Chain A
């Protein structure tokens, strides 16, 4: 059986629609990451003054990174938060500031545009989040970012 002009047109339109949908799906594909926030390095002398916990979910779409999380139990009010670049357990420089509730507990958010190098770092677990506080200006909570399981 041969396809007529009408049938061919319908087939072409369907094929175009399918390709478009697949392309859109690929563009919309997101990667989800998670950081568990826990106290910065501590000792028996500081264990009661470096406290708290939190969780941050990060969504990567293209080079756009959405950051949404919460924290609680810090020893004092948060003063600032940053996204840092460093391999797991090896501190490194700040790459982006993050919005943080200026209280001992609250939310941490950001809508960021990452460079290609930063996206690569994210996928290699070489980005981390750090929240600073009034009594721990060098940082109170920290967590490396890993692909969400």
Chain B
């Protein structure tokens, strides 16, 4: 078990996501910054759907009961292992009784903790990704534990990785969405020649912005939406659906983020500036 001494602001277990149930309204879920998570699992030589911890804004304090290997990545936070600072994207051996403690957020928004062979919380409908009510919990709770398997010997092929940072990046690559053609020249100019600041309404379901553009009165029948779909509301709000976003929607889907842009956006927080670039 990994004992949770402190939970942090919003810490969840995530893997690559829950597929095959979108026709029943079940969101994909999975790590918001999948770019970072794939790097962590590669370093640990894990299979790609091994579950990691997704740590939002402020981090937890954790105690290991079993020996294993870990690696951290994503947002930069001051992280210590038994009071010694550790670096991102470097494999560390941890022993029973070791304590991993997250401090201040320095850069980015979501940090990840990978562990050899992944966390072993319950798999529901093919995924361990937290999403209430599919999973019992919506985030980890103090004084509980997360199961993992012991690993005493592991010689990583690469023990440290230099990663192209996606932190502090504001450019989001987008494709035309199914209703892109509805946009007027004025709306296009407002979208592509303006910066947007991330609103307080930003979470695993959706990101919104403080700025609006000209609204859209087009009425369409409810149809599928995807992680990364940008909807335009009649009031001119842009809503970017993220990994826990609903599977259908009734607003025009004007743009679609690339996979990388979803990872980049998930490292942005309230007030950060972003702009769109058509791919």
Judge: A and B partners, yes or no. Answer: no
List residues of chain A with CB under 8 Å of any chain B CB: none
